[in-house]
Structure 1
Amino acid sequence: MTDMLHLSPEALESLSMRVLRHHGLDEAHAGAITRVVIAGQRDDCQSHGVYRILDCVRTIRAGKVNTAAQPRLVDGAGSIVRVEADFGFAPLAFERGLDPLTHLARRQGIGALVIRHCVHFSALWPEIEALTERGLVALALTPSHAWVAPAGGRRPALGTNPIAFGWPRSGRDPYVFDFATSAIARGDLELHRRSGQPLPTGCGVDAEGRPSTDPLAVMAGAMLTFGGHKGSALSTMVELMAGALIGDWLSSESLDHDAGAKASPCHGELILAFDPAVFGDSAESQARAETLFEAIESQGARLPSQRRYAARARSREQGIAVPRALYQEIQALAPDA
């Protein structure tokens, strides 16, 4: 069993801030990243928790992120908010666009946040929950690096291309899902490699196009989409909506920009927010939603994110669990190491 430490949020925050500030990020960027990775670790999302601090440092060292970037609002039109991330990390760009997006959604019923030229490494559900906390329904799409072969192919052409959705619930945790359109998240490949564990079958192929459960072989070959042609079609939609439509890079262009540095992907992101109170009777909408959720749970089925919420409750009681070896690896990057 992995040797785990149980740490307070304050202890993890201090470590993350020291590491990120030491590697050239200002207080605002380091704080936004820290909030995202601690949320992931708190919810036992190991592939998107404090492990991602290592990704951020590697990306900085590779020169593939603008550490001096200051995300700024640029002219939008109608129900669109635009944030230019200037090739900086994405979390601060999202935070800068959150209030204007909320204002648009409440005024017009719907708002779109377009983030351009951001280095994106995190899960999408923290962004989704930031909107459900404000009573808004939310949908987020983003490309990545071209690591994934389309259905019927064997060469990478698509990103892992996650899709996330959230529905607010009065007095309860929101209904949220966040999944990659690949059969497994890219970060999970690295976690399997680090632990020496094989991948589940159906996750990828090697450089010759042969099915493989070896993380290194799949990294050299291609990941696969979930659900065959269905996952492939959804992944293509993400490329079009959060790449071509908003005038930002496709996953293939992000990988070309990386040029073998193995840094975090650089591309755009599209986030849509909807205000139920503007669309119709908010109370009636909530009642219908709860009827649906009850029909699912009453037969023993699980709603998405319930595992995360249970982990969140454990973290509040026991502290946030972090593998000791990972903690020591991050600690070695701090200025006082």
Structure 2
Amino acid sequence: MLKSNSRLFVLLGMLLALALVLSLALGPVSIALQNIANVLWRSLGFTVVSTPALEQAQLIISQVRLPRALLGLSVGAVLALSGVAMQGLFRNPLADPGLIGVSSGAALGAAVAIVGGALLGGIDEAWSPYILSLCAFAGGLVITALVYRLGRRDGQTHVATMLLAGIALAALAGAAIGLFTYLADDATLRTLTFWNLGSLNGASYARLWPLLLITMAVALWLPRRAKALNALLLGESEARHLGFAVEKLKRELVFCTALGVGAAVAAAGMIGFIGLVVPHVLRLAVGPDHRVLLPAAALVGASLLLFADLAARLTLAPAELPIGIVTALIGAPFFLYLLLKSRF
């Protein structure tokens, strides 16, 4: 399978490499490709002749652009992988990871941290990003657990019931976020608004490593369930007759999505359309085989988010657009195009 699609993966790997290089090179201060290569070469322990330009590039890349690029790569990959998992679970190419409530729960957790912290007199700035990420991650897991519990009946998980529970709990979480928004003062409201729009700004290695580990775990685990996801496309009864443990697969897909999306939202805020557009487009391009779809989605999701971050940084430089606006501007028109194309 991988051999027959080797050209596809080589092209997608080159696209991701291009996105990474551009993310390191472009910004308020442009860095020459030679200096990027020398910085990376030096980081591997090799001796490189020091120059003022190289030292400046070393500082910018190691402290700002490299953690930001790795954060964008991890977020894009895990959102796209989660989108593939949810579309396979719901057997619907328009399904989104937010259907199980993880995004809404994470947003509610963030609102509790931001507004609740301000009402309690403020949180130490050194701990604030970590408390925010922890609350967002916990909120996503709690709402997802409730959705899964409500979808269980007679020892089985009913996908349709879980979908309705996700919609209801997402609406409830939205109402709670509205209440916190009403209670927030101007400064807190600005923080909450910008977090909900998503951003890779402020990336650091301390915030990156947990997400990077979760992304690697999701990227390694989901392809092992590719055959089961392929069987699930035929229907739950057919998948059972083929020997797959469907109930176990559902639990694993929900847990994996909650873990991945919760970590991504906790690290970068609300970033829409990656988990919806990337799997949908790839299904049209390479077909529904999850053995190809999953690794391709990880590569395309990472590349797309890196390019979106470049657009967010460069469009109004030195100011920066929230990346959620950029992904929405890319995703929404593209979906409208697909909708119009399907009508004719």
**TM-score scaled by length of structure 1:** 0.30
Greater RCO structure (CA 8 Å; 6+ sep): 2
Larger proportion of helix: 2
**TM-score of the superposition, structure 2-length normalised?**
0.29
Relative to its length, the structure with more strand (as a share) is: 1
Structure number with greater Rg is: 2
